[in-house]
Amino acid sequence: MKPTVIALGFFDGVHRGHGALLRRTVEVARQLNATPAAFTFDRPPKEVVTGKPMPLINSAQERQELMERLYGIQQVIIAPFDREMMTMPWQDFITELLVKRYGAVHLVAGHDHRFGHKNAGNAQLLREKCAQLGLGCDIIPEVVRVVSHQEGAPVYQMPHVCPSCGAQVAREEDEAALRCTNPECPAQKLRNLIHFASRDAMDIEGLGEAIVDQLIAGGHIHSPADIYYLQLDDLKSLWKNGTRAAQKLLDSIAASRSADLSRLIYALGIRQVGEKAAKVLARTFGSMDALMQADEAALTQVSDIGAITAQSIVSWFASPQSQHMLRRLREAGVNFESTAAPADDRFAGMTFVLTGALSLFTRDEATEKIEAHGGKASGSVSKKTTYVVAGENAGSKLRKAGELGIPVLTEQQFLDMLQE
C-alpha cells in the first residue's frame, strides 16, 4: 500500500481556511514521497446524529473535484457516515481506518477537529496518538484575530516576480496560487525532477531531493531526460561509500526505463494530469506517439478528460522544451508504449461504487480493474450509478442503492463479471 498524508475534515465550500490544511498536506506528502489525500464523509455527521437536513455548498463529488484541482490532492476518501462510523472509538478511527486501511503516515487537521464516537477525539488526542504510533501530525492553529495595519509598517504586497528566478508570476483562472511563468526556473526544475523520480511516477529509488539538489548544483542534470545520461563518475562523490551507492542508483535508473507509459505520462508533470488521468490516457492511446498527436477534440472524448485538461496536454506537447526532452528520453531507451495487459471495454459507460470492507481486492485494486475495462469508480451513489459492489459491513451507500433501485453485487459477482 502506498503511504498517504491525510487531511481530515468535511471541507464543505473548500474555502481558504481548508486551503491551509490541504496545502500543508501536499507539502508534507512531497517531502515523504507519499500520496496527498483528504478524508471526508458523504454527508454531514450532524445531519445523521440530529436527523435534520444540513444545507451544503458542495456535493461530495464537487468537494473532491475542487480539492484535486485547486490544491493537488491526489486521493479523496469519501467515507459513508453510517452507524459503524458513528460508533467507532476515536482510537480505532486512527489506527484501524486511517493507518491500516488507508496507509496514513502523517495526519493534518484543524485545531477544532473532532472525531470518533460522540466526538471524543480532538486535536490534542490526535497529536498524542500520532506520537505514540510514530506518525507525523500537523494541527493547523486557530486564527484568533486579524492584526490591523500599523502606521509606518510596510504593507505586504503579493509578489509580481518569482523569488527564485525573477520571472513574472501569473494566477490561472479559478486558482489561488501564483505561478512562475519561466519554464527554466531553478525552483521549478528542482520540483519537476523530484516529481519525475517519485514513487508514483518513475519510481527511481535513491533519487530524492538531497541528491537531486546536489546533481543540479554540480551541473549534471537540468531536465528529467538528463537522469538517463548520468555516469558513475557523476555520482560516486555524493556518498561516503561512493561507488556502491552510485551503482545502486544507476541500477534503479536503468530499471525505470521499462516503466509503464502511465508512469511516464504522470512523471512529465503536465498540469491537470494526475495519476488517474495518466492511466486513462495510457490505456486509451497506448503509446506516447499517439498521445502526442491527439488534438483537444480527441482528448475530450476520453473519460475523465475535460476541456481544460485537454488544452493543458496539447500545450505541453507543443512546447519546444517538451519535444526536446521527449526526444532525449526516447534516445535513452525510456519506454514509450503501454505495457499494461490489454483489456476490453466491457464496463464502458458504467459507474461503480465500492462500499464496505472488501476481502478479495483492495479498493485500489478494484478501482484499477474497473478503469482498465473502461468503467468509472465513484465515491457516492446516485441515479447515474450502474452497480454498487458491497463488502462486509456496508452502510449508507448500500441503503441508498436500495432506495434508488441500484443493482448490488457481491465481490464474487463482481469477480465473475471480470472473468466472463
Same domain? For 302 and 407 the reply is: no
Length of the chain: 420
Task: Classify residue 286: in a domain, yes or no.
Answer: yes
**Judgement on whether residues 8 and 133 belong to the same structural domain of the protein:** yes
Q: Could you count the other beta carbons within 10 Å of the beta carbon of residue 394?
A: 21
For the chain, give percent helix, strand, coil, nearest 5: 45, 15, 40
How many percent of the chain have pLDDT more than 90? 38
In a domain, 278, yes or no: yes
**Section 224-240 average pLDDT:** 91
CATH number at residue 356: 3.40.50.10190
Domain-ending residue, one of 235, 256, 277: 256
Domain end (from 223, 256, 289)? 256
81 and 53 fall within a common domain: yes
Cell of 39: 478524508
Same domain? For 91 and 214 the reply is no
Most confident range, picked from 48-52, 242-246, 343-347: 242-246
Q: Sign of the C-alpha dihedral, residues 57, 62, 67, 69?
A: negative
Is pLDDT at 133 greater than 90 in this prediction? no
Q: How would you class 277 by CB atoms within 10 Å of its CB: exposed for 0-12, middle for 13-18, buried for 19 or more? A: buried
Per-residue pLDDT of 286-327, as tens digits, reads: 999 999 999 999 998 887 788 888 998 999 999 999 999 999
- In 3D space, the residue among 252, 263, 264 whose CA is nearest the CA of residue 326 turns out to be 264
Note whether 114 and 122 are within 8 A (CB): yes
Q: pLDDT tens for residues 149-193?
A: 666 677 767 788 888 888 998 877 655 567 888 878 888 888 889
Same domain, 26 and 105: yes
Q: Which residue has the cell 531507451?
A: 333
Task: Tell me the per-residue pLDDT of 367-378, one tens digit each, with 9 for 90 and over.
Answer: 888 888 888 888
What integer is the mean pLDDT of 223-252?
Answer: 90
- State which H helix or E strand residue 322 sits in: helix 320-331
Mean pLDDT (whole number) for 230-255: 89
- Through-space distance between the first and last CA atoms of the chain, rounded to whole angstroms: 28
Query: Does a structural domain hold residue 171?
Result: no
339 lies in some domain = no
Start-end of H helices in 57-207: 60-71, 83-86, 90-92, 123-133, 186-197
Can you give the CATH number for the domain in which 310 is found? 1.10.150.20
Total domains in the fold of the chain: 4
Segment among 89-93, 142-146, 178-182 with least mean pLDDT: 142-146
- How many whole angstroms separate alpha carbon 75 and alpha carbon 102? 10
Q: Are residues 248 and 282 in the same domain?
A: no
- Which residues, in sequence order, are CB contacts of 416 under 8 Å at separation 6+? none
Residue 146 counted as domain residue: no
Q: How many helices (H) and strands (E) does the chain have?
A: 19, 11
Mean of the per-residue pLDDT values for the chain?
A: 87
> How far apart, in whole angstroms, are the C-alpha atoms of residue 146 and residue 53?
33
Report the pLDDT value the prediction gives residue 143, as an integer from 0 to 100.
64
- pLDDT at 51 exceeding the cut of 90: no
Looking at the fold, whether 202 and 80 belong to one and the same domain comes out as: no
The DSSP symbol for 205 reads T
Instruction: Specify the 3-state DSSP secondary structure of 181.
Output: coil
Residue 380 lies in a domain: yes
Instruction: Give CA separation, 183 vs 189, 222, 324, 388, in Å.
Output: 8, 11, 13, 45
> What 3-state DSSP class applies to 387?
strand
**Residues contacting residue 231 through CB under 8 Å, at least 6 positions apart:** none
Domain that includes residue 365, residue range: 351-419
252 in the same domain as 279: no
**Which of 225, 242, 224, 241 is CA-nearest to residue 233?**
242
Q: Within this chain, do residues 136 and 8 fall inside the same structural domain, yes or no?
A: yes
**Residue that is last in its domain, among 256, 285, 305:** 256
Write out the three cell numbers for 176: 489561488
Cell of 12: 464543505
Q: Helices in 332-382 by DSSP H: which ranges?
A: 363-372
CA nearest 196: which of 207, 183, 210? 207
pLDDT tens by residue, 379-408: 778 888 999 999 887 877 888 899 999 999
Cell of 338: 503501454
Q: What is the mean pLDDT of residues 100-118?
A: 90
pTM of the model: 0.59
Q: Are residues 218 and 312 in the same domain?
A: no
275, 276, 277, 283: CA torsion to nearest 10: 110
Same-domain pairing of 125 and 42: yes
Residues 6+ apart with CB under 8 A from 246: 232, 235, 236, 238, 239
What is the C-alpha to C-alpha distance for residues 98 and 137, in angstroms, rounded to an integer?
13
pLDDT of residue 147: 65
Any idea what the CATH number is for the domain that residue 66 is in?
A: 3.40.50.620
**Same domain, residue pair 97 and 33:** yes
